[in-house]
Structure 1
């Protein structure tokens, strides 16, 4: 029972994490030109305060996606490690 909860909970978290990563990728780079321009000024030395704030918000979303992926991996590993 406990292994099923961790296993299916891990699968659910992983599906949500994949959805968040796909949404994040789609919102971050809508075109190839935007992808290339994203690497022009990686340190954003010439960026305005608004652009830095927008970058900080996206950084928080990426951190949440990484955390959700880690939780999914942890739940799945616990669920598969518990014997039936």
Structure 2
């Protein structure tokens, strides 16, 4: 009689362990993928903003120098 009672209980325990393990693995994998994707998006966006800003600053500075240099040449 004890075997009949312990059998289903052991099966439930094993199933619970398996389900918890599978769910943990799936959740960890999903969270990792989501975090990687979000971090990639954020980094790309930040890098794009920084690069655009730097390029704009550099281009403005170069254009200003060239324009000043051209004006000096024109005035001489």
TM-score, with length taken from structure 2: 0.44
| Higher percent of residues as helix | 2
Larger Rg computed on CA atoms:
2
